[in-house]
A and B are shown apart, each in its own frame.
Chain A
């Protein structure tokens, strides 16, 4: 197979760029921990009230500036539908679904993950600016999908 000289230049450039992207992504993920949300814990989506983690969804403080938010996504809202944290807090979100597939998405941040029934998914985010953050479901979940939302109140101290 004959390759033109310029085509060789192009393939080296093109494949080199792809390799560079993969290297950057791999280092960010496997060395610095910026992984895509891929939590492996499973639950019984039809019996969340008996689940040790999700029987009482809500916010718990882990240490001075870290919180764990355990949330249930359900057509068409979240339980609880509002949480409050002081500015500068890091919140670990742990979310599952009581019915169909949803998402947990804070627009303008990297928190944007799928919530599949039977599975728990996680992400964490540090809120450095005060304000009322919008959380939406961006995965189609039925006729009321566009109403599905909650709020995160980040309070300045």
Chain B
């Protein structure tokens, strides 16, 4: 049982390491930030347009 526990632990660590190794989480957050910035600024000008009608 001890052995299998150890095995499990090792394998989790490897997976974790590996995930971190090739993860693109930072990229996802970055592009989502870019997208939100575009949405917010576009609607800001759109409402400025509406307010000037």
- Judge A-B direct contact (beta carbons within 8 Å): yes
Using CB atoms and an 8 Å cutoff, list the residues of chain A in contact with chain B: 4, 6, 9-10, 13-14, 17, 21, 24, 34, 108-110
Whether B28 sits at the interface, judged by CB under 8 Å, is: yes
Known: A4-B24, A24-B46, A109-B52. A17 touches B31 (CB 8 A): no
Lowest 3 A-B CB distances belong to which pairs?
A: A6-B28, A10-B31, A110-B52
What residues on B are CB-neighbors of A10 within 8 Å? 28, 31-32, 35
What residues on A are CB-neighbors of B53 within 8 Å? 34, 110
Q: Mark B6-38, 1 if CB is under 8 A from A, else 0.
A: 000000000000000000110110011001001
Question: Once the chains are docked, how many angstroms separate the CA of A6 from the CA of B35?
Answer: 13
**Secondary structure class of chain B's binding surface, majority of residues:** helix
Question: Once the chains are docked, how many angstroms separate the CA of A23 from the CA of B1?
Answer: 61
What residues on A are CB-neighbors of B38 within 8 Å? 17
Question: Once the chains are docked, how many angstroms separate the CA of A17 from the CA of B29?
Answer: 17
What residues on B are CB-neighbors of A24 within 8 Å? 46
Question: Once the chains are docked, how many angstroms separate the CA of A9 from the CA of B31?
Answer: 10
Contact residue among A6, A14, A17, A110 (Cβ-Cβ distance under 8 Å from B49): A110
Separation in Å of the A113 CB from the closest CB of chain B?
Answer: 14
Q: What range describes how many residues of B lie at the interface?
A: 10 to 19
What residues on B are CB-neighbors of A21 within 8 Å? 42
Question: Once the chains are docked, how many angstroms separate the CA of A102 from the CA of B13?
Answer: 69
Separation in Å of the A106 CB from the closest CB of chain B?
Answer: 10
What residues on A are CB-neighbors of B46 within 8 Å? 24
Contact residue among A17, A109, A110 (Cβ-Cβ distance under 8 Å from B39): A17
Beyond the given A10-B31, A34-B53, please list 5 additional residue pairs across the A-B interface where CB-CB is below 8 A. Answer: A4-B24, A6-B24, A6-B27, A17-B39, A110-B53
* B25 nearest in chain A by CB position: A6
Question: Once the chains are docked, how many angstroms separate the CA of A6 from the CA of B52?
Answer: 39
What residues on B are CB-neighbors of A14 within 8 Å? 31, 35
Separation in Å of the B32 CB from the closest CB of chain A?
Answer: 7
Separation in Å of the A28 CB from the closest CB of chain B?
Answer: 8
